[in-house]
Structure 1
Amino acid sequence: MINKKVKSKNNFFWIYIIILTIFLCIFLFKYSFSNPIKIDQDTFFNILIKGKIQKIIVKHKEIVHVYLNKEFLPPYHYKNFLKNHRKFLNPSLQYEFEIGDLQFFQKKFEDYKRKYKLNTLIDFKNQQDYTITKFFFDYGIFLLLLIIFWIFIFRKIGSSGSGPGGQIFNIGKSRAKLFNENDNVKITFKNVAGLEGAKEEVQEIVEFLKSPKKYTKLGGTIPKGALLMGPPGTGKTLLAKAVAGEAQVPFFSLSGSDFVEMFVGVGASRVRDLFEKAKEKSPCIIFIDEIDAIGRARGKNNIAGSNDERENTLNQLLTEMDGFGTQTNVIVLAATNRSDILDKALLRPGRFDRTILVETPELNERKEIFKVHLKKLVLSKTVDIDFLARQTPGFSGADIANICNESALIAARKNRSKIQHQDFLDAIDRIIGGLEKKNKIIKPHEKKRIAYHEAGHAAISWLLEYASPLVKVTIVPRGKSLGSAWYLPEERQLTTPEQMKDEICALLAGRGAEEIIFNNVSTGALNDLERVTKQVQSMVVIFGLNEKVGNISYYDSTGQNEYSFSKPYSEKTAQTIDEEIFKIITEQYNRAKYLLNKNKDKLSMLANELLEKEVIFREDLKKIFGDRPFSDNENGIDNVLKIVNNNYLS
């Protein structure tokens, strides 16, 4: 059926092309060869005295058309026709010329007739001599071309509209897709794992419409809207699909960009049409994905006097959601990952009564998400779901789905019958670090420097209490990095300055190891320095974790100062902030060097192990350094900083 439809559309397309080509050829043929040859009066009288002219017609007292006798016409071969531009409709019309004084020309013409005894006729026409046929050939072809062209354009535009056979006049109609109980939507709340709090609130919205009396009998009203907010890939659209699968009411689904059009007024018209259809199907749910496409805060970067189509669309949406005559059982469900830029009028109660935060899943939630995606995979008994969940902190549901799919591809690439645990680890490495580049050529002295750099990270993360425990270290290039280390970070809801400083110290340990062993540093610590700088800046400027700057935060959660070029603090405070950032980084860098000097032999053993095996794991680190010594306060922050200050800062 699909092929037949496509073939039919293609046939119509070629028919239009053929018709347009034929009419265009006729038009060009007619107008290219319809003009007679222009001559002057002297040439005319030279032709006249030879007796070749049958008649002349004087039009509008200024233009003379010259018609030759048939015996003097050239042969009608197509080459001569194209060469001499002869008249297409009247072959005897060959020449034309202009006259100045009609009376003088007429007297001269009569004198020549008498002198040379000619029978040439003269006629005068001062009115338009168009017939229906002549009018058609002069203007009708152009009009037909124009009409056919516009029909073709209308059909092309209409074919992109909603529904079969749509025309350009439907451009203001809503493009929302309707789901109802007759549609087989396979995604339900059973397919949504982890997001228990968000799922509970969304389920309640469905219950509002299924049994409204349960909630209104005590005097309450049904919420008019709910906004799903959260990072990309956390499951906002999946929740909406589950609502469409579970709800026994009509469900309209569309994107915020479906309202956007180049024509003025189209967005507002589509909003009106959407809510009119929804009111007819009431009770129902409208889902607008990526609502920030039309919901941005008004008044920013707007040129005075200009017509902002996006603002008109937003104004219409605000009116439809909470204006006069909106007492209908229509609930608006929307999703966005840019809630900070939404207009305040859109977020107020009465429009979006509920704000549902969809965050990245926690440890137990990641386990549930893994179980959902692993159901369709052929797994071996070695797969440890608990370890995979611990190994993926900060991963969204979409990231976990990608890991499961990537592991299946890796196992298939290795011709395995089942997906093993190592395939999942390789998939995580592939997604986090990029593709492994085993064939990349690295010089021996560079490889040695990389080994000591990564060994420095691994050693300090093992020696410090709050640094993330190591999983594995490799010096095989992957993505843009020449070496990398994988850790198993502890999931915290709150972070103390001591924990942040341990993490900073571990990040600076790579450069510290280079300085200790090679007495110089390289550019390999770029990513480490970038992360360290941002983390220390957040300690001082955002979280208020610095004594000298004080309990002050310059973070703007509203986003109002996003485009501001001025700092929210004075130059003196800026200098203090810079000094404190430099002080913290210097202290932790010297702390890392102190611990590495103290364990220099073990650092060299670890680096040599890396050079030999290229990849080492937690067990290899434990053999060299023993159990983690953070129970002993020797390496605690206070004691180490005191020694560091005495040795390095004096």
Structure 2
Amino acid sequence: MNDNQNNNEKQGRRIPNIPKKPQKGSKFNIFWVYAAIIIAIIAAQFLFTTDGGKEVTYQKFEQQMLLKGDVQKVVAYKSDDLVRVEVYIKKDSLKKPTYDPYKGNSTFNVNNASGPVVFFNAGTMDGLDKQLADSQKDLPANQPRILAEKTSRSNPLASWFLSIILPVLLLIGFWIFMMRRMGGGAGGGGQIFSIGKSKATLFDKESQVNITFNDVAGLEEAKTEVMEIVDFLKNPKKYTDLGGKIPKGALLVGSPGTGKTLLAKAVAGEAQVPFFSLSGSDFVEMFVGVGASRVRDLFKQAKDKSPCIIFIDEIDAIGRARGKNGVMGGNDERENTLNQLLVEMDGFGTNTHVIILAATNRADVLDKALLRAGRFDRQIYVDLPDVIERKQIFEVHIAPLKKSEELDTEFLAKQTPGFSGADIANVCNEAALIAARKNKSSVDKQDFLDAVDRIVGGLEKKNKIITPSEKRAIAIHEAGHATVSWLLEHAAPLVKVTIVPRGQSLGAAWYLPEERLIVRPHQMLDEMCATMGGRAAEKVMFDTISTGALSDLEKVNKQARAMVTIYGLNDKLGNITYYDSSGQNEYNFSKPYSEDTALTIDKEISALIEGQYQRAIQLLEENKDKLIQLADILIEKEVLFKDDLEVIFGKRLFENQGESGNPGHIKPVEA
């Protein structure tokens, strides 16, 4: 990226200035308020507590002060579990040298006798009275006796602080805390006052993501499109000089797991412009008008930081076609959000140098106004990777693993047709876990094959209790699949067959079909016949059938219905389809054909399925001995591979299939 930037500068191209991220000051913390309140309370204890002078013993008080006649008064009050006695000295007596050591010990000025000079502690009030009486019983009759003045001592300043100031401080602290909580500040939480603000995460020069286009394997055409969008923003003059306009937006469309979000992350990592990332559901809230407000705030931030890119993941959360929910009750809030998004993307206002990227796997439900030119100018289809792209994806995900040297990524790519990028990442991770479970020092080929089996078929259940009769029925069923698929030209080549329960299946036959761009009727019929081979084998061997062929029937029914109602491959109905690619059929309660046509469709579907079922029975009757031989070996070994079938049936006559390097999806067939 730095090299590209230097080249652009040499060629005199203008690179837009990227706004610097503002430096954040120190954030306010509510605990500062709590600390201030605690400090104030401690200070009040020191500042507002009266100093009672210097502590002395009762004997010293008696000999040096009381019997000398220097005491003006004594004040006694309860302090904790003791009685505190403060001694006040006559003003004239304070001039004696005896009291020099006590001067300055009171918070009050001892020179004017306004405060106690010394204090001592007594046990009880009654005990104090008795002590004073005993000490003064021998005094001359004309000398006045000193009696203890009893009082309840409390500091008025401290009381005022604790009763008035402290509650006010607590209320202020609580108010600041709640305001910051509701404002979505340091406390997080409610966001009542900022609920209309955009939730977009900003990635700019200082908070760049680490993913680049080098981390995105395959998707070459899609990468070319999005790299051009990045180039639009980095070198706009190159295009505007020719009179071209920068596109408003691009929509990434594809199956789940194909790398749409990863591609957007790579754009964020490569682009030298601010990148706003959020999900379509971030606009949705329980309050009315919030979605539209967040859209306005998002584009306001984008304009302030333009040139920039906005990425909205799963845009179908707010971009569904309007007016389709009239019967069931419409979602006006979602439609208002979509209306605001349409206006911001291409309305009277202009959003110069703001490009919108969006991703969805439900492009068929999006509003047509959202997809028109001027809003999303281009749609980028992110398809499932082919065998070459799967090899590149494997190389990316295998790189962090400790793999064996003889591991062939091309073989792995051929063994995982129909897998998305997310599936391949899962396979690599599962292979590493399986190797670790087996205490291996590296991940080898068999670990990856086991990982594919684990992901596609489910977890092995070797301890599942199966009776011998059930085991033989399952073996016959799976042997029927293997036999019919081996004998038919256009059936998918068999990889292995097993009667080990896996997931919800009691057994499975694993195939490696071709990747076909178009499929002809005889190819679909061969696949249907192979799928019905399991039930046909049960009929041939036991003259009865079981419930184990549920998934087979479901698959065949879908194929037959597609031939009749979608692809127009039925001679009786002719060249007609009842499929609506716009997705609007799901909102209609009536079928797009008459009752007579519905009866014809049902009959044709049944005829297709029954025809292939009888065809499978005929094939198995002709090869019944080989079927029994295959089932017996399967019961003994539990897992058979292609080589084992060649021993029984001989070399397959249709080996050109599957050798093209474009095998199809491996599909388990339930017993």
Correspondence 1:455 to 2:471: no
* Cα deviation, residue 314, structure 1: 1.0
Q: 1:616 to 1:15 in 2, by over 3 A?
A: farther
Partner of 2:593: 569
Q: Deviations over 1:136-172 (max 9, x none)?
A: xxxxxx999999987665444444x699799532221
**In structure 1, distance between residues paired with 2:288 and 2:192:** 14
SS of equivalent to 2:585: coil
Equivalent residue, structure 1, for 2:432: 408
Partner of 1:466: helix, strand, or coil?
coil
Other-structure match for 1:436: 460
1:215 maps to which residue?
239
Residue 268 of structure 2, aligned match among 236, 239, 244 = 244
1:335 aligns with: 359
Aligned to 2:212: 188
Amino acid at match of 1:296: R
SS in structure 1 opposite 2:640? strand
Local SS of the residue matching 1:286: strand
How many Å separate the matches in 2 of 1:221 and 1:164? Answer: 41
Relative to 1, partners in 2 of residues 1:463 and 1:274: Cα closer, same or farther, differing over 3 Å?
same
Deviation, structure 1 residue 183? 2.7
Match of 1:358 among 382, 394, 419: 382
> Percent same amino acid at aligned positions?
70
Q: Is the 8 A contact 1:472 1:615 kept in 2?
A: yes
Deviates more, 1:335-344 or 1:497-506: 335-344
Question: Could you tell me how far apart the structure 2 residues matched to 1:10 and 1:518 are?
Answer: 79
Match of 2:223 among 189, 194, 199: 199
Q: State the match for 2:667 in structure 1.
A: none
After superposition, the Cα gap between the structure-2 partners of 1:525 and 1:219, relative to the gap in structure 1 and judged at 3 Å, is same
Aligned to 1:561, what secondary structure does the other structure show? Answer: helix
Provide closer, same or farther for how the CA distance between residues 9 and 538 of structure 1 changes in structure 2, counting only shifts above 3 A.
farther
User: What SS does the corresponding residue of 2:532 show, helix, strand or coil?
Assistant: helix
Instruction: Report the 3-state secondary structure (helix = DSSP H, G, I; strand = E; otherwise coil) of the residue aligned with 2:405.
Output: coil
CA distance in 2, matches of 1:224, 1:163: 37
The alpha carbon displacement at 1:280 in A equals: 1.1
Please list the CA deviations of residues 353-397 of structure 1 after superposition, one character each: whole Å capped at 9, or x if unmatched: 000111111111111111111111111134232222122121110
Deviation at 1:351, TM superposition (A): 0.4
Q: CA deviation at 1:258?
A: 1.2
Distance 1:11 1:608 in 2: 80
Q: Is the 8 A contact 1:154 1:168 kept in 2?
A: no
Moved more, 296-305 or 501-510: 296-305
Matches within 5 A, 1:115-134: none
Distance of aligned partners of 1:239 and 1:163 in 2 relative to their CA distance in 1, 3 Å threshold: farther
Q: What secondary structure is seen at the aligned counterpart in 2 of 1:485?
A: strand
Q: Find the counterpart in structure 2 of residue 627 from structure 1.
A: 651
CA change 1:476–1:322 in 2 (3 A) is same
Q: Which residue of 2 aligns with 1:269?
A: 293
Counterpart position of 2:545: 521
What corresponds to 2:635 in structure 1? Answer: 611
CA RMSD of aligned residues (A): 2.9
Q: 1:216 offset after TM fit, Å?
A: 2.0
| 1:288-312 Cα shifts (integer Å, max 9, x gaps) | 1111111111122248998822111
Distance 1:478 1:512, change over 3 A: same
| Residue aligning to 1:419 | 443
Is the Cα contact below 8 Å between 2:205 and 2:272 reproduced in 1? yes
SS of 1:334's equivalent in the other structure is strand
For residues 92-107 of structure 1, the aligned pairs below 5 Å read none
Name whichever of 382-391 and 540-549 sits farther off. 382-391
SS of equivalent to 2:558: helix
* Matched position secondary structure for 1:168: coil
Q: Distance in 2 between matches of 1:549 and 1:631?
A: 35
Aligned mates of 1:591, 1:307 — CA distance in 2: 52
Distance 1:611 1:200, change over 3 A: same
How far apart are the structure 2 equivalents of 1:573 and 1:15?
83
Task: Measure, in 2, the Cα distance between the counterparts of 1:486 and 1:304.
Answer: 44
Task: Give the counterpart of 1:383 among 407, 420, 435.
Answer: 407
Contact 1:231 1:359 (C-alpha < 8 Å) held by counterparts: yes
- Residue type of the partner of 2:381? L
Q: Is residue 601 from structure 1 mapped to residue 604 from structure 2 by the alignment?
A: no
Does the Cα contact within 8 Å between 2:344 and 2:351 map onto a contact in 1? no
Are 2:198 and 2:298, in contact at CA under 8 Å, matched by a contact in 1?
yes
**Whole-angstrom CA distance in 1 between matches of 2:33 and 2:592:** 64
Q: Distance in 1 between matches of 2:493 and 2:329?
A: 60
Distance 1:164 1:620, change over 3 A: same
Check 1:305–1:451 CA distance in 2 against 1; reply closer, same or farther (3 A cut).
Answer: closer
Q: 1:14 to 1:292 in 2, by over 3 A?
A: farther
Residue in 2 aligned with 1:314?
A: 338
Separation of aligned partners in 2, 1:165 and 1:515:
65
Asked if structure 1 preserves the Cα contact closer than 8 Å seen for 2:218 and 2:389, the reply is yes
2:12 aligned residue: none
Change (3 A) 1:12 1:583: farther
Instruction: From 385, 392, 404, give the equivalent of 2:416.
Output: 392
In structure 1, distance between residues paired with 2:472 and 2:35: 68
Q: Does 1:292 align with 2:330?
A: no
Please say if 1:489 is aligned against 2:513. Answer: yes
Structure 2 vs 1, CA of residues 590 and 150 (structure 1 numbering), >3 Å: closer, same or farther?
farther
Report deviation, 1:580. 1.0
- Change in CA separation of 1:391 and 1:508 when aligned onto 2, cut-off 3 Å: same
Structure 2: runs of 5+ lacking an equivalent:
1-25, 38-166, 657-671
2:349 & 2:470 partners in 1: Cα distance? 73
Residue identity in the other structure for 2:236: P
What is the CA-CA distance between 1:9 and the residue it aligns to?
7.7
Deviations 1:72-125 (A, max 9, x none): xxxxxxxxxxxxxxxxxxxxxxxxxxxxxxxxxxxxxxxxxxxxxxxxxxxxxx
C-alpha distance in 2 between matches for 1:195 and 1:223: 21
| SS of residue in 2 equivalent to 1:213 | helix
Query: Residue 169 of structure 1 aligns to a residue in which SS?
Result: coil
How far 1:176 sits from its partner (Å)? 1.0
- Secondary structure of the residue aligned to 1:540 is helix
Contact 1:278 1:284 in 2 (8 A): yes
Answering whether residue 563 of structure 2 is matched by residue 539 of structure 1, we say yes
1:234 is paired with a residue whose SS is: coil
The whole-number CA distance in structure 2 between the counterparts of 1:293 and 1:363 is 33
Partner Cα distance (2:189, 2:254) in 1: 39
Q: Is the partner of 2:403 in helix, strand or coil?
A: coil
Q: Check 1:625–1:306 CA distance in 2 against 1; reply closer, same or farther (3 A cut).
A: closer
The answer (yes or no) to whether the contact 1:154–1:167 under 8 Å persists in 2 is no
Does the residue aligned with 1:294 lie in a helix, a strand or coil? helix
Contact 2:182 2:194 in 1 (8 A): no
The one-letter amino acid paired with 1:589 is Y
Q: Which has the higher helix share?
A: 1
Distance in 2, matches of 1:503 and 1:187, equals 42
Instruction: Decide whether aligned partners of structure 1 residues 404 and 14 sit closer, same or farther in structure 2, where only a CA change above 3 A counts.
Output: farther
CA distance, structure 1, for counterparts of residue 179 and residue 206 of structure 2: 33
CA distance in 1: counterparts of 2:407 and 2:640, whole angstroms: 21
TM-score (norm 2): 0.71
1:447, CA displacement in angstroms? 0.2
> Helix, strand or coil for the counterpart of 1:533?
helix
Cα deviation for residue 410 of structure 1 reads 0.5
| 8 Å CA contact retained: 1:162, 1:175 | no
> Does the 8 Å contact 1:407/1:427 carry over to 2?
yes
How much has 1:343 moved relative to structure 2? 1.0
Q: Is the 8 A contact 1:256 1:289 kept in 2?
A: yes
Q: Distance in 2 between matches of 1:567 and 1:177?
A: 45
Q: Which amino acid aligns with 1:577?
A: I
Letter in 1 for 2:612: Q
